Amino acid sequence: MPRSAATVHKVDPAGLELSGPDDIVLDVFFDARRIWSFWLLRDSSETAGSRRTIAWPRALRRFLDGTTKLTVREHLDGRLLFEQELTFGSGTGRIAVENAQGKPVGLDKSGRLQMTFDTRTEAQAAPLLDSIELVLAALQKLGIDVFPAYGTLLGAVRDGALIGHDSDADLGYLSRHTHPVDVILESFELQRQLARQGFQIVRYSGAAFKVLVTEPDGNKRGLDVFGGFLADGHLVLMGEIRTPFRREWILPLGTTTLEGRTLPAPADTDRFLTATYGESWRVPDPAFRFDVPRSTTDRLNDWFRGTNVHRADWDRRYQPVRHQRPRIKPDVLAKRLYRDESAAPPDLVVDLGCGRGANARWLARRGLRTLGLDFSARGYEFVERGARQQQLPLEFASMNLLEMRQVLGWGTRIARVPGRRVVLARHVFETLTPRGRDNFGRFCQMVCSGGGSLYLEFLSSAEPEDNWARRSMLVPLDPGEVEAALTAGGGKVQWSSSVASRQRAERRGHDPGPRRTTHRMVISWQ
Amino acid sequence: MAVKDSAPVRKVGERLDLLRTRKRTRDLSARVAELEDQVRECRLHHHRTAELVDVVTALLVPIARGDQEEVDRVLRDYTDGLG
């Protein structure tokens, strides 16, 4: 039955006003380039009469300053619903939805601005395909039954091509194991083996990681590798899937064609794609959303997740400033560490959660051998380069306090450094999950055992409207509880003090800003 | 008399049954929530178990086999391979 047409009544800086009886996918174009797609009924709200409104997605709002030819079309048949030259804000130029490097971006299905494949030429897509083949070959070499998954498989099977509104490449594999513990162990081992082959890896969870491949133009591309296994008659594929499935529907692997290249594929791609996207997988849907049953999400969360909390937020925060010089002045606690420790300098200072690396660099410049560790490797890139050029006694590495094996591995490695070791940790403890806080205490105990100290700073109170605290993902903590948690393993508090930011600012005659209290303490271990 | 009285008695009985059913439903809901929590507690051990096994097999065992230089190499390789 033909669908009734949708109508776009108005487009303004607030959003779109539309109406229509059917839930259909609409594409929004700026100067003939698709920027955003949404479902007419699912994603909009009903207003007066039969009219509906949908606000501009948050990620797009900052671009709405200038002129564009705005077009709205039905996704499936391309029917034109709206086309008009529109001006937003006071901007005089054409609206350019581009990333920091000036490359065109659009909203992907997760609402993030990405370089989607429809903006790339065949030649530009070739390095991605090379990367897919490279990582597939590396995993096959390790005896893994790996194949393109999710959108990459969908594009290959449906069109033999990358999907225009997709932005990344996904691989999946079927583990020979059936228990989550063994699946995680296998994933750890794959990561190790790939690291030995020279790949840089970022782990998402116990059963998924990203392989970073440097392409000829110098761009680093991440390919997501999702672990899967069969248990109790169900296929579990990290990300979104747990569904009744049979082994023979995947193995032995068949083949599919992506942009003219032959790649492995599950034996029954129809069943596999139905398990991934539902019965309607053949119908293109750039605004697709997974409807994952709670029982599946709970299982995947409990089995595999919890080790990647806020990593993307930190990466995003550092991305725009990664090549910029951080401030030069050290923080109060770094100065205190230097003052207290300079009489008998420690053999190593670990700046845990070093961020941009400014304190670590300040300490290294004063002759203290320093190691900066942080969840996100993007923050310290600038200082790391400078430290190498200036031959400072300063090194950096990424370390994840949410993974116990990282804490045990790094804790042991650092504990091997002869002499006394000191930890500086500013505004880290209060960003962590309970699991991370346990690991933080374990790490400090390992590193500081034998006469070392922890110089700790955390927020102990903040107002709800404190933007800095919110942006830094800080959750104020009670100093008594922090002390109890960190001294349980034998540490002793040597010094402890609270400072209210308003008092300090008022003393200096500055704008007091929001009310917040910072707590600092020094804990030592024998 | 007995016939006249039976209706109110039946009503009281039905009301008691209803109250008992409601209480059973509440008890069962609480029991299900408790069991869900217990299942979750068990599942949460999987990741930690895997991490500990990984540390023992990929870090401690090679360390136990090697000399001091080997210990440093194993520690370096293990931590550098974490991402």
Alpha-carbon distance A508 to B62, whole Å? 57
Q: Are residues B55 and A188, on separate chains, in Cβ contact within 8 Å? A: no
Question: Which residues of B fall within a CB distance of 8 Å from A209?
Answer: 83
Q: Which of A202, A209, A402, A405 to mutate to test the interface with B (most CBs of B within 10 A)?
A: A405
Alpha-carbon distance A416 to B59, whole Å? 14
CA A222 from chain center: how many Å?
11
Distance from the A49 Cα atom to the nearest Cα atom in chain B, whole angstroms:
41
A294: phi then psi, degrees, rounded to nearest 5 = -60, -35
> What 8-state DSSP symbol labels residue A369?
-
pLDDT in tens, A71-85: 999 999 999 999 999
- Does A215 lie in the same domain as A229? yes
Q: What's the whole-number mean pLDDT along residues A313-332?
A: 92
Residue A145's contacts (CB-CB under 8 Å, 6 or more residues apart) are A173, A174, A250, A251, A253, A264
Are the CB atoms for A447 and A485 separated by under 8 Å? no
In the predicted structure, residue A205 carries a pLDDT above the cut 50: yes
Tokens of A524: 């030592």
pLDDT at residue B1, rounded to an integer: 47
Q: Which of A258, A280, A304 is the last residue of a domain?
A: A304
Alpha-carbon distance A311 to A317, whole Å? 10
In the predicted structure, residue A219 carries a pLDDT above the cut 80: no
Q: Which of A80, A97, A115 is the last residue of a domain?
A: A115
* Count of alpha carbons within 13 angstroms of residue A493, beta-carbon side: 17
In a domain, A417, yes or no: yes
- Does A393 lie in the same domain as A334? yes
- Does A472 lie in the same domain as A390? yes
In a domain, A1, yes or no: no
Q: What's the whole-number mean pLDDT along residues A8-15?
A: 95
| B69 shares contact with chain A (CB less than 8 Å) | no
Q: Which of B43, B46, B51 sits opposite A405 (nearest CB)?
A: B51
Q: Which of B53, B54, B75, B80 to mutate to test the interface with A (most CBs of A within 10 A)?
A: B54
In a domain, A96, yes or no: yes
- Does A423 lie in the same domain as A444? yes
pLDDT in tens, A372-410: 999 999 999 999 999 999 999 999 999 999 999 999 999
User: What is the domain range of residue B37?
Assistant: 2-80
Which pairing describes strands A370-374 and A394-398: parallel, antiparallel, or unpaired? Answer: parallel
In a domain, A2, yes or no: no
Distance from the B69 Cα atom to the nearest Cα atom in chain A, whole angstroms:
11
Which pairing describes strands A261-265 and A254-258: parallel, antiparallel, or unpaired? Answer: antiparallel
pLDDT at residue A119, rounded to an integer: 79
pLDDT at residue A284, rounded to an integer: 92
Q: Which of A262, A281, A304 is the last residue of a domain?
A: A304
- Does A344 lie in the same domain as A210? no
pLDDT at residue A1, rounded to an integer: 47
Q: Which of A177, A179, A181 to mutate to test the interface with B (most CBs of B within 10 A)?
A: A181
Question: Which residues of B fall within a CB distance of 8 Å from A306?
Answer: 47
User: What is the domain range of residue A239?
Assistant: 118-304
Count of beta carbons in the 10 Å neighbourhood of residue A123? 7
**Helix (H) / strand (E) containing B42:** helix B2-55
- Does A173 lie in the same domain as A45? no
Predicted ipTM > 0.85: no
Alpha-carbon distance A148 to A158, whole Å? 13
Q: What's the whole-number mean pLDDT along residues A497-505?
A: 77
Alpha-carbon distance A294 to A306, whole Å? 17
Q: Is residue A506 very low, low, confident or very high in pLDDT (cuts 50, 70, 90)?
A: low
A289: phi then psi, degrees, rounded to nearest 5 = -130, 135
Angle formed at CA A452 by CA A412 and CA A445, multiple of 5 degrees: 50
Alpha-carbon distance B41 to B43, whole Å? 6
Interface of B with A in 4-63 (CB under 8 A): 40, 43-44, 46-55, 58-59
Amino acid at A399: M
Alpha-carbon distance A202 to A184, whole Å? 15
* Count of alpha carbons within 13 angstroms of residue A84, beta-carbon side: 11
Q: How many structural domains is chain B composed of?
A: 1
pLDDT at residue A503, rounded to an integer: 58
